Amino acid sequence: MTNKELVLDFIDHIFNAHDLTDLDRYMRADYKQHSIGVGDGRDNFRAFAEDFFTQDPYMDVKRVFESDDNCVAVFFECRFKTGPSAKVVDMYRIEDGMIAEHWDVVQGLPEDDALVNGRGSF
């Protein structure tokens, strides 16, 4: 499985299916996190995700970029059952076939996304 395939599979099975059963298959135990409010390690990610899933998020992937240095960036719309959507870029570093590190940039979206330069955010 390529790094890109690993990250897309992770997003689909963990985030979109809201299923943490196979988290150990995707993420290293010593996972490093650069997001505010989320601690390092797989157990801290699990605690974050369990709370995050109460908002019923869905990641609609728009673009994926894979670098030569084992990093994958994913550009997506994060939609919620209630509340506004967000435009997100997640970047993952892969080590030995597992997610080892994560960074993100999140921007809230207006209700009328067409207002963004007349083209929308995506």
d(CA 65, CA 74): 6
Taking Cα atoms as reference points, which of 36, 20, 43, 58 lies closest to residue 106? 36
Domain residue spans of the chain: 3-115
* Segment (H or E) for 46: helix 42-52
What fold does the segment set 3-115 form as a domain? Nuclear Transport Factor 2; Chain: A, (3.10.450)
Q: Which amino acid is at 97?
A: G
pLDDT, tens digit (0-9, with 9 covering 90-100), for 59-97: 999 999 999 899 999 999 999 988 889 999 999 999 999
Residue 118: pLDDT band by 50, 70, 90 thresholds?
A: low
- pTM of the full predicted structure? 0.91
Residue 117: pLDDT band by 50, 70, 90 thresholds?
A: low
Share of the chain above pLDDT 70, in %: 93
